[in-house]
Amino acid sequence: MMCKCDDNKYSCAATNNNASIPEFRSATGDILVDLVNHKNISQYLLETFEQFITKR
């Protein structure tokens, strides 16, 4: 899958590759993502960038 950058914005085709990545909420309310077994962390960051900006 390819991502592109136009006008300083990344866009990637929608995939479900990241749907199975476990997330945990810490006692402080932070959300921790377990990327230990994820093969392509760079792709994960590109695909979830907009969700991160929306949630922060």
What's residue 23's pLDDT?
Answer: 85
Domain spans in the chain, listed from the N-terminal domain onward: 30-56
Q: Give the model's confidence band at 2: pLDDT under 50 very low, under 70 low, under 90 confident, else very high.
A: low
What's residue 26's pLDDT?
Answer: 93
pTM of the model: 0.49
Number of residues that make up the chain? 56
> Could you report the per-residue pLDDT of 5-52, keeping only the tens digit for each?
778 776 766 665 555 678 889 999 988 888 888 778 887 887 787 777
What's residue 27's pLDDT?
Answer: 94
Q: Are 33 and 41 in contact (CB under 8 A)?
A: no
Show the DSSP H helices in the chain as ranges: 41-55
Distance of alpha carbon 47 from alpha carbon 39, whole angstroms? 14
